[in-house]
Chains A and B, each alone.
Chain A
Amino acid sequence: MNIWYALWDWLPFDWVTLNFMKNALLAVCVMAPLFGILSTNIVTGRMSFFSDALGHSAFTGIAIGILCGFAAPIWCAVLLAVVFALLFTWVRARTQQSADTVIGVFSSTAVALGIFIATLGGGSFTKFNQYLIGDILSVTPAEIGLLALVLLAVLALWVLFSSRILLTTIHPQLAASRGISIRRSEMLFTTVIAVVVTLAISWVGLLVINSLLVLPAAASRNIAKNMRQYVLFSVLGALVCSIAGLFVSYEIGCSTGATISLLLAVWFAVTSLFRSARQ
């Protein structure tokens, strides 16, 4: 980390004297590509509502973790989000209900259960605010290391399975006819999203995390002509908006997660205009 800290010292800005800002900068540089990559599959697979629901289940997991007195309730949230993701995939394959109804049922139940547990016995809800809003400035070097490991794991899985996941999302029947196990691909994909969403929630915030999972790819597909450009623009868009969001929020003093989301929304609007002009 010392090398990373020293790397910025020559710049003539206030923030270079603050190690928490340099930590946050490194954290967004690790997190943004993660969200950029996953975003393309969430948007192509029409799963944006699902990833939102996963954030809600993570909240319930944190509430259970705190209730049980765990020092790091986030791992309880990861476990619950993975169970939630697998259960959702299993139920969706067996029910006649549409996917958005199933997600709605899971999501609202998760939030209700989370609030129920959080306020059980008249407890205060304030301690959960950090998970709702998120605070990237509180990220520690150890947590950045963990995020980097997750990024590497996702990249490895991505290289191995992205073709199968792409085919499953654009045409499940075609994928099945070519010997791809749709269920296995879906479960792998939803588990990865569950882990990433839950781990990132403390720093990005439950209320805005879904924008990072949807907006990078939504903007990218307005300008991309093929899969290569799609992933590239999604990762670049997420990276640029995240770094810009960090510094804008520092300068004007507001939530970093929300600022990043707003910048991504502006980026989406710009690409939409570009697309309209091209057509």
Chain B
Amino acid sequence: MNHRHHNGGCGDACCLKVSDLSVRIGTDQILEHVDLHMHCGQMVALIGPNGAGKSTLIKSILGQQTYEGKITFSTPGHPNQRLRIGYVPQSPAFDRADPVTVQDLFVSCISRRPAFLPVPRRLRQKILDCLKNVRGENLIDKRIGALSGGELQRVLLALALEPMPNLLILDEPLSGVDVEGMALLMDMLSEIRHKFDLSILMITHDFTMLAQYVDQVVLLDRTVLRRGAPAEVLDSEEFLQAFHLGGGQA
């Protein structure tokens, strides 16, 4: 099912399509006629200046924002399959003083069991297996407030992969992560998408990693200004103008 390099239509491929999506909040038009198309196994970076509507687009895909337009997901033979999304939120500011461990966080997310009760061995093993996907078994008893930026992102990534999604959405996964942690995280994401054939959509403000890891870059500023291979978008007039980098007519 891995068809990152699928070049034809979508008849024999699984894909996520966002068609003509618009969002208005009060009198503000946040998004207008946005189209997005990605296949399983693809990694797509969503970039744009602050206030471009990136988070709103993600909220729409997550079903947390009302919108006009269509979001469809299909697999071969199943044109309207239910999309299972794994979500890694923007670096959350957990209170360092809260005695909530990684295990407590997992128990709250993947079971209905109260986190203050003893954890059965089978559930603990399941949590360790999830953490193994991100090489984070040693983090299980650490407090979430004491994790480094990179460790926290890995834990949230492991959480987003249980249950295994079709689409993984990451909201600025590289912010607050040091250079070493960034490379580790991006390597991990590459490995995960190959291993599980899932699509990855990530908002990022860090453009240095794009060329090496990402298949497609979508430049958003209320609508899609440009999409394509990383080099194509990062060298475009639209990119320079959107980020006021001295290009365009200036």
Contact = CB atoms under 8 A, between A and B. Distances in A.
Contacts of B144: 170
Given A162-B115, A163-B112, A163-B115, A170 B99 contact: no
Contact of B89 (A164, A174, A229, A230): A174
Choose among A160, A221, A227 the residue with the greatest number of B CB atoms under 10 Å from its CB: A227
Interface of B: 62, 64, 85, 87, 89-90, 92, 94-95, 97-101, 103-105, 107-109, 111-118, 141, 143-144, 156, 159
Interface of A: 44, 158-160, 162-164, 166-167, 170-171, 173-174, 176-178, 220-222, 224-232
Contact of B118 (A158, A221, A228): A228
Given A173-B92, A176-B62, A177-B64, 15 more contacts: A163-B111, A163-B115, A164-B108, A170-B92, A170-B94, A174-B89, A177-B62, A177-B87, A221-B97, A226-B99, A226-B143, A227-B99, A227-B115, A228-B116, A228-B118
Contacts of A230: 99-100, 116
Query: Binding site of B, secondary structure by majority: helix, strand, loop or mixed?
Result: loop
A224 B115 contact: no
Contacts of A170: 92, 94-95, 98, 100, 105, 144
Contacts of A220: 99
A166 B115 contact: yes
B100 A227 contact: yes
**What are the 8 closest A-B residue pairs judged by CB atoms, nearest first?**
A177-B87, A224-B99, A231-B116, A163-B108, A227-B115, A227-B104, A162-B114, A230-B99
A158 B98 contact: no
Query: Binding site of A, secondary structure by majority: helix, strand, loop or mixed?
Result: helix
Contacts of A226: 99-101, 103-104, 141, 143
22 contacts: A162-B114, A163-B108, A166-B104, A167-B105, A167-B109, A170-B92, A170-B95, A170-B98, A173-B89, A173-B92, A174-B89, A174-B156, A176-B62, A176-B64, A177-B62, A177-B64, A177-B89, A178-B87, A221-B99, A222-B97, A227-B115, A229-B99
Nearest to B55: A173
A228 B87 contact: no
A44 B99 CA distance: 9
A231 B122 CA distance: 23
A108 B161 CA distance: 46
A44 B143 CA distance: 14
A174 B92 contact: yes
